[in-house]
Amino acid sequence: MKIKSKQKSKVGKSRLKLLHQYYTYTGFYTFVWQAVKKALPYIIALVIAVYTINHFFNINEALTRLTEILPVFGVLSFFFVSETLLGLIPPEVFIAWAGKMYSPWFYLSLLAILSYCGGLLSYWMGRTITKIPSVHNYLEVKMEKQLKNSKKWGGFLIIVGALLPLPFSVSCIAAGIIKFPFKNVVLYGSLRLLRFAIYGLIIFNAL
């Protein structure tokens, strides 16, 4: 038994090593680092803006109050628009709202489906953006190399957006811009439903 477990451990390590070599060879790490460096100033500016606004105006409290004022259809519509347009509003606020409803898991399911559909719609927004002549020329000429690399890791991009606390919509828009196959977006994006299920278990137990 010990020999088998050691063999499995070696196989696992060798696979990780090969994966690491592949990412290094294809320039994945360099690509991610360059993308982070370019996005960092905007992320910092956004964080500062949110912090400043939140200092004078409690955003979470306002959003919670909004879910109490709006009717069910209004909350669901507002959430769908948010998840389609950049998804900057934390879905946890809406999950907490679902937890207070008479059928929490039903409303959580609706939120998950709306978030997933919003991401798919965002993908087509990204595809539409590439049809703008100036954007098209920029992507095909100046960003040709980066675009080629991005298509290799489009699945990773979608999985990260679906599972991690990052805007899913932004990942889907990016996937649309690089023309990542839609069927793969549908497949990888379905992990978004899993994230809502996990968050629901955590938040509902805490309520």
> Which of 63-67, 136-140, 171-175 ranks highest by mean pLDDT?
171-175
Q: Which two tokens stand for residue 107?
A: 């409303």
Q: Please give the model's pTM, rounded to 2 decimal places.
A: 0.70
Q: Domain segments of the chain: what residues?
A: 1-57, 60-206
> Contact at 8 Å (CB) between 175 and 158?
yes
List, as one string, the DSSP characters of 98-140. Answer: HHTSSSHHHHHHHHHHHHHHHHHHHHHHHHHHTTSHHHHHIII
Predicted pLDDT of residue 31: 58
Which of 58 and 82 is assigned the larger pLDDT? 82
> Contact at 8 Å (CB) between 192 and 112?
yes
Give the pLDDT confidence of 116-150 residue by residue, as tens digits: 999 999 999 888 887 777 665 656 655 556 566 66
Please give the Cα distance from 173 to 87 (Å, whole number).
11
